[in-house]
Structure formats: structure tokens, C-alpha cells
């Protein structure tokens, strides 16, 4: 790992891709949950539903642009040329490398996701395309990382695909809820919708966390070669430790909301308790952004087992 401008650019683009993908997934889920309550133009849930639609569209646009930016940095890094000269290398990277194949899959999914976001209205076909695009993006992202070293059809790629998906659901719900959607349900007339949506966010996040921890443990064991010493002496291990600390903080914040703030909100339906839940979710969202940045740095660092030779 070389801490030069190209590496920093790759990590920055990868982090932006991670955040945008998760934000789009979380916004899509929230939009689906709020759609029924937001049909009337004066419905209390409509502002939040509109925010979910807009945040999904914005995240999809950012994802497409970040994908393009990452490819350019990756081409420059792989070819050893300066960034402006990398434009001429991109066709070779796309046609002759596994990174190019994986990126093409993820980018195709991102374009379909953007198309569904532009469509806006629901429908069976639109929803099917949306979630197919999400799966395709996750598979493409898994195919350009360290998991692809085991082969394109390996258990490592499958596990990483699942990890990208469930992390996108957990982190995406935290970010889209805390930063964009749930603050629009602050009025007292929207309190019932807020409680129902908060319960859905909490339940789906809890289910996702189990898979995040399972797949994350698999990836950590693979990247470290099963050695704690490799984690302790490598830059990869240090970044992993930071990521785990951020995940632990997110779990604590999520636990506070699920076991303290949400039950109290259900009992009282008060404005203060509603603000408490949303504020804690806001902190969890910021923490998840840190997790996605650390994950980007991790994916562009030499795995820890290489430190053992």
C-alpha cells in the first residue's frame, strides 16, 4: 500500500461509492414502507416519502459518478501512469482485467438503479428491476476486491456479495433515516407513521446486523489468514481494528434506540422521545459513514496475511 495521491483518490471514490450505494438502498426501503401512507398529497407521511424518493435519486446519480471516478483512478494505478493519461488505459482495463469485468457489472447495475430512481412511481416491474440492480451492484463490487483473488465464482465472492448487501441495508437505513427521511416526520400528526417506520427500521436493521457480523467475521479471518499477529503488525489490520470499533459504536447506538428510545416512544408518543430516537439515529448514520470509509481503505490495502509472508 502506497499512500500517494492515486491511492487516496481510489479510497475516496470507493468510500463515496459505498455511501451512495447504501443511501440508495436505505432510501428505496423507506420509500416502499411510506408509499401507502403518502398517497394523498396532504398526508402527513408525504414529505418523508418525497425525501426518500429524492435521496434515492441523488444517491444513484452520485453512485454512477463515483463509479466513473474510481475507474479512472484504478486505471492510473494499474498502469502506472498519471491521472490524465489514464483515460487512454481505461478500455484496456475494461477489456482485459477482472477488475474491469467486475466494474462493468457494478456499473450496469448502477445505471439500472438510476433508471428506477428516475421512474419514481411504484410497480412490480420497477421494484423487481430495482432490487435486481442492487444485487448486481453488490456482486460487481465483490468482484473487484480481495475476494476475487479466490476466483470469480468462489465462496469468498459470494460471501462478500452478501456482506455488501446486508451492510448496505443496515448502513443505508441508518443514513437515509437519520439524515434525510425521518426528520420530515417530526410533526405530531405524523407520530403514528414515525413509530411504525422506526419499528421497521429497527427490525430490519437487527436482522441485517446478524448477517453483517457473520460475513464480516469470514472476511476478517480470510484477510488475516486466521492470525491475530498479522492483524497486529499490518496496516490492513490497523484499519480493520478501526472499522470494528466504529461498528461496535454503531451497534451501541442502534441498541440504545431499539431497547430504550423506541419502547419509550411507543409508550408516550411524545415529541421529546421522537426527537431522541431521530437524534440517536443521526449519530448512528454518521458512524456508519465512518464504517464505509474504513471499508474503502481496507479494500485498497494489502491483506494482513501478506505480512506473514
pLDDT at residue 19 in the model: 98
Quote the longest CA-to-CA distance of the chain: 64
Decide if pLDDT at 2 tops 80: no
In this prediction, residue 309 carries a pLDDT of 58
Structural domain harbouring 127? 5-308
Tell me which residue has cell 453483517: 212
| Whether the Cβ atoms of residue 241 and residue 231 lie closer than 8 Å to each other | yes
Output the pLDDT for position 296. 97
Residues of the chain with pLDDT > 70, as a percent, come to 97
pLDDT value at residue 45: 96
pLDDT digits (tens, 9 = 90+) for 150-182: 667 788 899 999 999 999 999 999 999 999 999
Mean per-residue pLDDT, 224-234:
85
Using one digit for the tens of pLDDT, what is the confidence trace for 74-89?
999 999 999 999 999 9
Cell 486466521 sits on residue: 226
Low-confidence winner among 110-119, 143-152, 193-202, 222-231 (lowest mean pLDDT): 143-152
Phi/psi of residue 109, each to 5°?
Answer: -65, -40
C-alpha span between 181 and 163 (Å, rounded): 25
CATH of the domain at 205: 1.20.1630
Higher-confidence residue: 69 or 226? Answer: 69
Torsion sign (Cα): 182, 186, 190, 192: positive
Residue-level pLDDT at 166: 98
Query: Is pLDDT at 148 greater than 80 in this prediction?
Result: no
On the question of pLDDT at 194 being above 80, the answer is yes
Q: Which residue has the higher pLDDT, 301 or 136?
A: 136
Sort residue 10 into left (φ over 0), alpha (ψ -120 to 50) or beta. alpha
Looking at the structure of the chain, the number of domains it has is 1
- Mean pLDDT computed over every residue of the chain: 93
pLDDT tens for 238-290 read 999 999 999 999 999 999 999 999 999 999 999 999 999 999 999 999 999 99
Residue 1 has pLDDT above 70, yes or no: no
Average pLDDT value for residue range 289-293: 98
| Other Cβ atoms closer than 10 A to 253 | 22
Instruction: Look at residue 3 and tell me whether its pLDDT is greater than 80.
Output: no
CB distance 160 to 129 below 8 Å: no
SS3 83: coil
- What per-residue confidence (pLDDT) applies to 136? 98
Quick one: residue 125, left, alpha or beta (phi over 0 = left, psi -120 to 50 = alpha)? Answer: alpha
Q: Would you state the pLDDT for residue 130?
A: 97
In terms of Cα–Cα distance, which of 223, 85, 86 is closest to 145?
223
Amino acid at each position: 500500500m502506497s499512500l500517494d495521491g492515486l491511492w487516496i483518490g481510489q479510497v475516496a471514490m470507493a468510500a463515496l461509492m459505498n455511501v451512495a450505494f447504501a443511501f440508495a438502498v436505505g432510501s428505496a426501503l423507506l420509500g416502499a414502507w411510506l408509499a401507502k401512507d403518502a398517497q394523498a398529497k396532504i398526508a402527513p407521511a408525504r414529505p418523508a416519502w418525497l425525501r426518500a424518493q429524492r435521496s434515492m435519486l441523488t444517491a444513484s446519480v452520485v453512485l454512477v459518478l463515483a463509479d466513473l471516478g474510481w475507474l479512472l483512478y484504478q486505471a492510473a494505478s494499474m498502469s502506472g501512469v498519471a491521472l490524465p493519461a489514464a483515460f487512454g488505459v481505461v478500455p484496456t482495463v475494461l477489456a482485459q482485467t477482472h477488475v474491469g469485468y467486475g466494474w462493468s457489472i457494478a456499473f450496469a447495475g448502477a445505471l439500472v438503479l438510476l433508471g428506477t430512481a428516475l421512474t419514481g412511481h411504484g410497480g412490480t416491474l420497477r421494484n423487481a428491476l430495482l432490487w435486481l440492480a442492487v444485487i448486481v451492484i453488490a456482486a460487481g463490487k465483490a468482484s473487484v476486491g480481495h475476494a476475487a483473488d479466490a476466483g470469480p465464482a468462489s465462496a469468498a465472492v459470494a460471501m462478500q456479495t452478501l456482506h455488501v448487501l446486508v451492510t448496505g441495508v443496515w448502513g443505508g437505513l441508518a443514513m437515509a433515516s437519520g439524515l434525510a427521511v425521518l426528520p420530515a416526520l417530526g410533526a405530531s400528526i405524523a407520530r403514528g407513521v414515525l413509530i411504525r417506520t422506526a419499528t421497521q427500521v429497527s427490525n430490519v436493521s437487527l436482522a441485517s446486523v446478524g448477517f453483517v457480523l457473520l460475513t464480516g467475521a469470514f472476511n476478517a479471518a480470510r484477510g488475516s489468514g486466521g492470525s491475530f499477529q498479522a492483524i497486529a503488525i499490518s496496516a490492513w489490520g490497523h484499519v480493520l481494528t478501526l472499522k470494528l470499533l466504529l461498528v461496535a459504536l454503531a451497534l451501541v447506538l442502534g441498541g440504545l434506540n431499539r431497547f430504550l428510545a423506541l419502547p419509550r416512544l411507543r409508550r408516550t408518543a411524545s415529541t421529546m422521545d421522537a426527537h431522541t430516537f431521530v437524534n440517536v439515529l443521526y449519530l448512528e448514520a454518521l458512524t456508519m459513514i465512518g464504517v464505509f470509509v474504513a471499508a474503502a481503505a481496507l479494500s485498497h490495502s494489502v491483506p494482513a496475511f501478506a505480512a506473514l509472508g
